[in-house]
Amino acid sequence: MSTESAAAKPAATPETDAPRDFIRQIIREDLANGKHAAIRTRFPPEPNGYLHIGHAKAICLDFGIAREFAGWCNLRLDDTNPGKEDPEFVEGIKDDVRWLGYEWHDLRHASDYFEVLYCAAIKLIEDGNAYVDDLNPEEMREYRGTLTEPGRNSPHRDRSVEENLALFRRMRAGEFADGSKTLRAKIDMAAGNMNLRDPAIYRIRKVTHQNTGDAWPIYPMYDYAHCLSDALEGITHSLCTLEFEDHRPLYDWFVDKVDLPNHPELWQHMRDAGFRTEPAKPRQIEFSRLNLSYMITSKRKLAQLVNEGLVDGWDDPRMNTLRGLRRRGFTPGGIRLLIERLGVSKQNSVIDYAILENCVREDLDAAAPRRMAVIDPLKLVITNLPEGHEESLTFANHPKDESFGSRKVPFARELWIEREDFAEVPPKGFHRLKPDGEVRLRGVGIVKCEKLIKATDGSVAELHCTLDLESRSGMPGADRKVKGTIHWVSAKHAVAADIRLYDRLFNVPTPDDENDGKTWLEHINPDAKRIVRGWLEPSAAEASPEQRYQFERLGYFVADRLDHLPQSPVFNRAVTLRDTWTTKQNA
């Protein structure tokens, strides 16, 4: 059991340059009208899987709005479906919320309120607003009707209050088999909104619960537990995605009929147990969910990818789980920037995945120190330097921010360069190294390719070049112009590393669309993960897990949070320096 960790903060209105979306406008009006003294929100995930990118929008809204208005946000785990929930997912959810930069005011579980929800159900029965039904699930669906035809009353709908109370208490005592009886709200079987056609409130499930053990053989349904949990916690604004818009009348019906603020006898025991509870009437507000191209957000399908070994777990960097995006090297700041730029609306749409990548690039450009690495090495020997030549060069850690300081980079006669930075037969407009051509080595000077050494298969194995010593820093020819500049690492000092090159998991914008005759699994991108053996300057190898760098001219990379060690480095590519996907698709 947890209690509130701090006293409520006074309400405040954000500065005028704060976001002005419709949800925040509602909140400003509520505060201005004195409807609420303080803003209370909640983030209510179900711990039956890891959070994905779609949840990031809800997290940023729930926690962000509470922070903006000097209120608070609870993390409430919806554990009403035992058997499908796992403590592993609970810890993952908590970790993901903190990684995105937020902290909850209070950690709650729907199971904290099981006794209150049960007492509230008794009240509904006593008031003639609920009854015990014997119809099985198939019969309930048949009686429910369709979108164009009204439903029919259950033959058990008119049971007396006394009979319903007795049956419900026997359900609570575990006397009936799973699925044999259901407690239903008595609303209107002819309602145009099918959610109001006597929805289920409780079902019998003799499953051990991770928090309450075997204390309960019956469990509340989500629509019932969620709204009353909001009311019990004093939530002022219950933010949810558009698919819950049709559920709002039911949400309000339960809140109004139970009326927790005026019935303290239903929850007084929680106060006695240490919960600082002040029930209120919450308002549900819906917003459009975050849908990105080249992604899926179905928990079932994400679990299928994991269970069938199509990815390397929930935190595989190809996955759009928050754990996967984190391991790939995406930043909390980049994700928050995406949410901020997309804004909040009631219009569902699909956002181009490239927008997320650009937000991550923008965040990393400012935050990531620079390092040099080579991922497809070609040896370059500077023949006019003596054997054994070594020196230490000073490089800025960030070209745009002096506060990052500088580092020493070893330089020697033999170097590794990127193979793509040399062309024996250069295409038009090629400004890198070629036979008899010149290029500037980053931070060193200008070299000229004098000779090629080839392998037995005819490929270029080694370049012999001369360094224009007058073009080095501080020399008279340091300003001599050449069109190309390439990076390098010292072959003698470089540290070998596994470089994992990640890309989009799916190769079509809408993997779920099977109009092309293929299943969503057939849209998996076979090139979404490649592992190459690369070479790093020594300071890059010394990175701590999750340290992010820009490898100059290559992209943004992160030291793998699980596998990286300084003596055996492992780096994951987060994003390339620019959008190469669109270029490839249009080629």
pLDDT digits (tens, 9 = 90+) for 127-142: 999 999 999 999 999 9
Residues 203, 77 share a domain: yes
Listed residues 462, 487, 512: the one ending a domain: 487
Q: What tens digit of pLDDT does each residue of 481-511 get?
A: 999 999 999 999 999 999 999 999 999 999 9
Same structural domain for residues 174 and 130? yes
Residue 59 has pLDDT above 80, yes or no: yes
pLDDT band at 584 (very low <50, low <70, confident <90, very high): low
- The DSSP bridge pattern shows strands 130-133 and 182-185 to be antiparallel
For all residues of the chain together, what is the average pLDDT?
Answer: 93
Q: Do the beta carbons of residue 574 and residue 557 sit within 8 Å?
A: yes
Sheet holding 40-43, edge to edge: 40-43, 72-77, 107-109
How many C-beta atoms lie closer than 10 Å to residue 4's C-beta?
18
Please check whether residues 192 and 152 belong to one and the same domain: yes
Strands (E), 387-434: 390-396, 406-412, 414-418
46 annotated as ligand-binding: yes
Amino acid in the structure at residue 351: I
Q: Tell me, yes or no, whether 315 and 347 share the same domain.
A: yes
Helix (H) or strand (E) holding 377: strand 377-382
Annotated binding-site residue? 52: yes
Any idea what the CATH number is for the domain that residue 464 is in?
A: 2.40.240.10
**Residue 582 pairs with which residues in a beta bridge?**
none
Residue 470 annotated as lining a ligand binding site: no
Q: Is the pLDDT reported for residue 171 higher than 80?
A: yes
Residue 57 in marked binding region: yes
Token duo for residue 40: 């209370």
SS3 301: helix
Interatomic CA distance for residues 296 and 442, integer angstroms: 42
Coil/strand/helix, residue 2:
coil
Same domain, 419 and 551: no
Torsion of CA 173, 176, 177, 178, to 10 degrees: -60
Is 574 known as a binding-site position? no
Task: Copy the structure tokens of residue 100.
Answer: 């995105």
Residues 231 and 194 placed together within one structural domain of the fold: yes
Average pLDDT over residues 37-57: 95
Question: Residue 17: what pLDDT?
Answer: 56
Q: Whole-angstrom Cα distance, residue 56 to residue 59?
A: 5
Largest CA distance in the chain: 102
CB 73, CB 43: distance < 8 Å: yes
The verdict on whether residue 56 carries a ligand-binding annotation is yes
Compute the distance between CA of residue 573 and CA of residue 553 in angstroms, rounded to an integer: 13
* Whether 424 and 399 share a structural domain: yes
Say if residues 41 and 239 touch (Cβ distance below 8 Å): yes
**Does 290 carry a binding-site annotation?**
yes
Which residues are paired to 239 by β-bridges? Answer: 285
Q: Which of 427, 455, 487 is the last residue of a domain?
A: 487
Print the domain residue range for 214.
22-289
* Residue 387 forms part of a structural domain: yes
396 marked ligand binding residue: no
The verdict on whether residue 313 carries a ligand-binding annotation is: no
Q: Rounded distance, CA 236 to CA 241, Å?
A: 17
| Residues 391 and 447 reside in one and the same domain | yes
407 annotated ligand binder: no
263, 298 in Cβ contact below 8 A?
no
- CA distances to 5, 35, 55, 122, 203 from 66, rounded to whole Å, are 15, 16, 17, 34, 34
State yes or no: 457 annotated in a binding site.
no
Distance CA 541, CA 436 (A): 34
CATH number at residue 58: 3.40.50.620
Using alpha carbons, select from 343, 344, 301 the residue that is nearest to residue 319.
301
Instruction: Decide if 15 is inside a domain.
Output: no
Same domain, 419 and 561: no
The whole-number average pLDDT for the span 531-551 is 97
How much is the pLDDT for 13?
Answer: 42
Q: Is 524 annotated as a binding residue?
A: no
Helix axes 114-126, 248-258, angle to 10 degrees: 80
- Collapsed DSSP state (helix, strand, coil) of residue 95: helix
DSSP 483-551: S-EE--EETTT-EEEEEEEE--SBSSS-TT--TTS--GGGGB-TTSEEEEEEEE-HHHHTPPTT-EEEE
Is 386 inside a domain boundary? yes
The count of structural domains within the chain is 3
Task: Tell me which residues are annotated as active site.
Answer: 46, 289, 299
Select from 103, 97, 49, 95 the least CA-distant residue to 72.
Answer: 103
Q: In this predicted model, what pLDDT tens digit does every residue of 365-393 receive, in sequence order? A: 999 999 999 999 999 999 999 999 999 99
Q: Can you tell me which residue has the tokens 């990818």? A: 305
Looking at residue 581, its pLDDT comes to 62
Cα–Cα separations (whole angstroms), residue 69 to 62, 65, 108, 165, 197? 11, 6, 22, 44, 38
Q: Which amino acid is at 48?
A: N
Give residue 459's pLDDT.
94
What is the C-alpha to C-alpha distance for residues 398 and 162, in angstroms, rounded to an integer? 75
* pLDDT one-digit tens code per residue, 190-223: 999 999 999 999 999 999 999 999 999 999 999 9
Question: Is there a binding annotation on residue 53?
Answer: yes
Sequence-distant (6+) residues with CB within 8 A of 86 are: 47, 48, 210
59 and 140 in a single domain? The answer is yes
d(CA 185, CA 196) in angstroms, rounded, equals 8
Residues 161 and 173 in one domain: yes
Is 78 annotated to bind ligand?
yes
pLDDT digits 0-9 by tens, 312-368? 999 999 999 999 999 999 999 999 999 999 999 999 889 999 999 999 999 999 999
Q: Is the pLDDT of residue 4 over 50?
A: no
pLDDT at 11: 40
Asked whether residue 4 is domain-assigned, the answer is: no
Last residue of a domain, one of 289, 323, 345: 289
475: confidence class by pLDDT, cuts 50, 70, 90: very high
Tokens 């054994």, residue located: 388
